[in-house]
């Protein structure tokens, strides 16, 4: 039993370590390249389309660019990327984003462009750049949670896509 646990931990570590972590800076999020060994671009593209159908309620509504076997573009709103406490009341902030996925044999490139925050479905004039100081690019006081929340949501989305492409079971198969 101990060997089985060690093998499963080792296997999951290998599967999860292939995806570089996304980091939000005052300049946005740098694109990442994920290696998906032994997969042709057409197979990766097909799995990504399947992931979209499983991950989005109405995938056709979020796809704005679709060049078969080459690239996909998705525009959507990520729910509750950040919860702020304002005068004793928790306020949820959603965020617009664009996800671009480019396909090559054995790899994909993931690019995120972040848009405005939304509160109660209404677009705010605030976006991710407002979380950082203008002069040195450090996170403004009291916005660490916002940056961490955005990174966590986008890293989870990217990891979900990678797991789906690689056939890694997320534990929900019973």
Give residue-wise pLDDT tens across range 51-103: 999 999 999 999 999 999 999 999 999 999 988 887 888 889 999 999 999 99
Q: What's the pLDDT band for 13 if we cut at 50, 70, 90?
A: very low
The DSSP 8-state label assigned to residue 22 in this structure reads P
CATH topology of domain 2-166: Alpha-D-Glucose-1,6-Bisphosphate; Chain A, domain 4 (3.30.530)
Mapping DSSP to helix (H, G, I), strand (E, B) and coil, where does residue 167 land?
coil
Sign of the torsion formed by the C-alpha atoms of 145, 148, 150 and 156: negative
pLDDT in tens, 28-40: 999 999 999 878 9
Measure the CA–CA gap between 20 and 38, rounded to whole angstroms: 19
Any bridge partners for residue 154, and if so which? Answer: none
Q: Look at residue 9 and tell me whether its pLDDT is greater than 90.
A: no
Residue ranges covered by each domain of the chain: 2-166
pLDDT tens-digit profile of 90-146? 889 999 999 999 999 999 999 999 999 999 889 999 899 999 998 899 999 889 899
* 5 DSSP assignment: H
Q: How far is CA 70 from CA 2, 22, 92, in A?
A: 44, 22, 36
The Cα–Cα gap between 118 and 5 comes to: 43
17 backbone dihedrals φ, ψ, rounded to 5°: -80, -10
Write out the DSSP string of 79-147: EEEEEEEETTEEEEEEEEEEEEEEEETTEEEEEEEEEEEEETTEEEEEEGGGGB-TTT-PBPTT-HHHH
pTM score = 0.83
pLDDT at 99: 97
* Residues contacting residue 142 through CB under 8 Å, at least 6 positions apart: none
Angle between helices 2-17 and 144-166 (to 10 degrees): 110
**Residue among 106, 107, 124, 104 at smallest CA distance from 115:** 124
Grouping H, G, I as helix, E, B as strand and the rest as coil, residue 18 is coil
pLDDT of residue 73: 97
Whole-number average pLDDT of the chain: 87
């Amino acid at each position: 039993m101990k060997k089985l646990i060690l093998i499963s931990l080792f296997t999951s570590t290998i599967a999860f370590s292939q995806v570089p972590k996304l980091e939000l800076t005052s300049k946005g999020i740098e694109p990442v390249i994920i290696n998906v060994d032994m997969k042709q671009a057409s197979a990766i593209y097909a799995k990504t389309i399947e992931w979209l159908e499983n991950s989005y309620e109405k995938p056709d509504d979020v796809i704005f660019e679709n060049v078969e076997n080459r690239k996909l573009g998705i525009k959507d709103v990520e729910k509750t990327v950040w919860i702020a406490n304002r005068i004793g009341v928790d306020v949820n902030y959603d965020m617009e984003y664009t996800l671009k996925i480019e396909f090559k044999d054995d790899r994909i490139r993931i690019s995120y462009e972040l848009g405005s925050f939304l509160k109660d479905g209404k677009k705010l004039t605030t976006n991710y750049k407002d979380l950082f100081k203008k002069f040195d690019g450090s996170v403004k006081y009291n916005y660490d949670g916002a940056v961490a929340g955005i990174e966590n949501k986008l890293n989870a989305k990217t990891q979900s896509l990678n797991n789906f492409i690689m056939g890694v079971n997320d534990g929900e198969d019973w």
